[in-house]
Amino acid sequence: MRLPILTIGLLFSLASYTQVINVEALRIVSDTTGWFGGLGTEFSIQKNTTLLYNLSTNVHAQHKGKKNLWLAVADVEFLDAGGESFVNNGYTHLRFNRKLNYITRWEAFSQLQYNNITKIDLRWLIGTGPRFKLLHGEINKAYLGVLLMHEYEEESKGTIQKNQRIGSYLSFNITPTKNIKIVSTTYFQPIIKDLADYRASTENSLEVALIEKLALTVTYNLAYDSTPFKEVPSTTYSLTNGLKWKF
């Protein structure tokens, strides 16, 4: 039996500016059926020139059956310094996946999200559509999803928007050589009645084995919103380098 490998700290690490939650990174890949997941919480208080509070909580549960898969994720982060809130964001995501045949799955999901940095008081998404298996070997995998979703959004200054979007994504995990692993997920979410109004994001990671159990990791995130709220940048990105020890 092969058990899924979870990287502690990476599983729930999402940039504060993110507009699109990378659900692909939260799927637990396993050859076995049953329950998988975890629960984590952290609270800290620090006093120097000011008083700082930090709270983060995350829950991740997945159940895999012979044909059905359920995924439930919740994440909350709060940072207060001197009575001023610098970070206050969170989301919950529930997804259902049913196997129709070897290539096609049908997905349905609902998501609630808020983020003070991107001026989102509330964003509610609900959608459904097919997920196609483009490549599925023991090592190399690729998936394409094309979903229709309804979006309800409240901006911090009181603006309310209701839109129907296409929620498409392409995800792949390939190992071109035994020392190199590439993981990529790209989302494209245009408004159906105005395709020029869209959100897009991509998360790409490269892992290069240096020695038997030590690898160099490079992760690049890029997000773009063609019509962001006022005072919110249309483009955000991050580049992270690190080392990973496997045992």
Q: What is the pLDDT of residues 196-232, one digit of tens each?
A: 999 999 999 999 999 888 999 999 999 999 988 878 8
Q: Residue 183's pLDDT band (boundaries 50, 70, 90)?
A: very high
Q: Is residue 32 part of a domain?
A: yes
Contact 72, 94 (CB under 8 A): yes
pTM of the model as a whole? 0.81
The verdict on residue 3 lying in a domain is no
Residue 36 lies in a domain: yes
Is 10 within the bounds of a domain?
no
On whether residue 173 sits in a domain, the answer given is: yes
Structure tokens at 127: 């959608």
In a domain, 227, yes or no: yes
Closest-CA residue to 12 (of 92, 85, 121)? 92
For the domain that residue 36 is a member of, what is the CATH number? 2.40.160
| Residue 204 counted as domain residue | yes
Determine the structural domain holding residue 134 and report its residue range: 23-245
User: For residue 210, what are its two tokens?
Assistant: 């240096």
Q: For the chain, how many structural domains are there in total?
A: 1
pLDDT at 36: 86
Strands 141-155 and 160-177: antiparallel
The answer to whether residue 115 is domain-embedded is yes
Torsion on CA atoms 124, 130, 131, 132, rounded to nearest 10: -160
Q: How far apart are CA 168 and CA 202, in angstroms?
A: 12
Confidence bin at 19 (pLDDT 50/70/90):
low
